[in-house]
């Protein structure tokens, strides 16, 4: 935070006070970004201040795509229900649907990312770190972020695909090794296999490409926003919300 008397500055982009130039983190937006860089590259750049290199773009793009949609999820249903109440303002149902992104659905990659940051910055071996981390969560009766799924077992194919992409792109390294070591330790402690879900996989891949932990959930938010736009447009053409509303009217009564 700037001291009193100092002018606060942003490195993100130029303000409306400047009409002679349009910049994004020091680059000419119109000459060096628009029509030159992809959305994935630009998103990565505006968050980190650097363009992705080599296979990082492919990995980041995969992370944006993998959570774009998962069918009629609670978030998709919320967006569809709200669309009927604000049909001319698409940002309203999109925002409503995105409010369901949290630790229960879609967003646990930040917690997993924090664990991986600890693993890679510490002095313990990955095996020792994983055993200690799994033991601590078990003792505190806390879920290990990135593990478990009600439908995918024994493995989450989305996680497997992300790791395959990272391997092909030349980005697979200690982040993926760490999450796999943690999975082995979790399994050993529980005496059974617990699925490494897609959010844990995303945390590992985003760690490999040096995307900040604080912004990891934002990748899920941006990707899922695009998916919700698709649901909202389909809702206008073929409503799923209306039958649900009729069902509620028919099945639920007031307990007087």
Q: 214-238 pLDDT, tens per residue?
A: 999 999 999 999 999 999 999 999 9
Place of tokens 């970004």: 33
Q: How far is CA 212 from the centre of its chain?
A: 12
> According to the model, what pLDDT value does residue 5 have?
62
Percentage of the chain modeled with pLDDT above 70: 97
Token digits for 253? 């009564």
Q: 244-255 pLDDT, tens per residue?
A: 889 988 888 877
> According to the model, what pLDDT value does residue 105 have?
74
> According to the model, what pLDDT value does residue 18 have?
73
Domains of the chain: 54-256 (1.10.230.10)
Cα torsion 102, 107, 110, 112: sign: positive
Q: 74-99 pLDDT, tens per residue?
A: 999 999 999 999 999 999 999 999 99
The 3-state secondary structure of the chain reads: CCCCCCCCCCCCECCCCCCCCCEECCEEHHHHHCCCCCHHHHHHHHHHCCCCCCCHHHHHHHHHHHCCCCCCCHHHHHHHHHHCCCCCCCHHHHHHHHCCCECCCECCHHHHHHHHHHHHHCCCCHHHHHHHHHHHHHHCCCCCCCECCCCCCCCCHHHHHHHHHHHHCCCCCHHHHHHHHHHHHHHHHHCCCCCECHHHHHHHHHHHCCCCHHHHHHHHHHHHHHHHHHHHHHHHHCCCHHHHHHHHHHHCCCCC
Token digits for 241? 């919300």
> According to the model, what pLDDT value does residue 1 have?
52
Distance CA 74, CA 197 (A): 18
Range of weakest confidence among 35-39, 101-105, 116-120: 101-105
Residue bearing the bigger pLDDT, 4 or 204:
204
> According to the model, what pLDDT value does residue 3 have?
60
Distance CA 199, CA 143 (A): 13
In contact, 223 and 101? CB cutoff 8 Å: no
* Model confidence, pTM: 0.91
């Amino acid at each position: 935070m700037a001291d009193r008397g100092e002018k606060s500055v942003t490195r993100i982009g130029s303000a409306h006070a400047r009409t002679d130039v349009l910049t994004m983190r020091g680059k000419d937006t119109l000459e060096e970004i628009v029509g030159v860089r992809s959305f994935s590259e630009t998103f990565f750049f505006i968050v980190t201040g650097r363009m992705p290199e080599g296979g990082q773009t492919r990995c980041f793009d995969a992370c944006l795509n993998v959570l774009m949609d998962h069918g009629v999820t609670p978030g998709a249903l919320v967006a569809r229900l709200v669309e009927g109440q604000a049909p001319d303002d698409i940002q309203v149902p999109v925002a409503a649907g995105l409010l369901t992104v949290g630790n229960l659905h879609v967003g646990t990659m930040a917690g997993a990312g924090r664990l991986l940051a600890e693993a890679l910055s510490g002095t313990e071996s990955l095996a020792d770190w994983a055993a200690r981390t799994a033991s601590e969560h078990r003792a505190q009766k806390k879920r290990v972020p990135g593990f478990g799924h009600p439908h995918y077992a024994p493995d989450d194919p989305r996680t497997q695909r992300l790791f395959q992409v990272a391997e092909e792109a030349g980005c697979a390294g200690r982040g993926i090794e760490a999450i796999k070591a943690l999975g082995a330790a979790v399994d050993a402690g529980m005496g059974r296999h617990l699925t490494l879900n897609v959010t844990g996989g995303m945390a590992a891949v985003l760690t490999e490409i040096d995307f900040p932990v604080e912004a990891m959930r934002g990748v899920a938010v941006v990707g899922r926003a695009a998916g919700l736009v698709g649901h909202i447009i389909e809702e206008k053409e073929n409503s799923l919300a209306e039958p649900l509303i009729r069902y509620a009217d028919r099945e639920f009564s007031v307990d007087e």
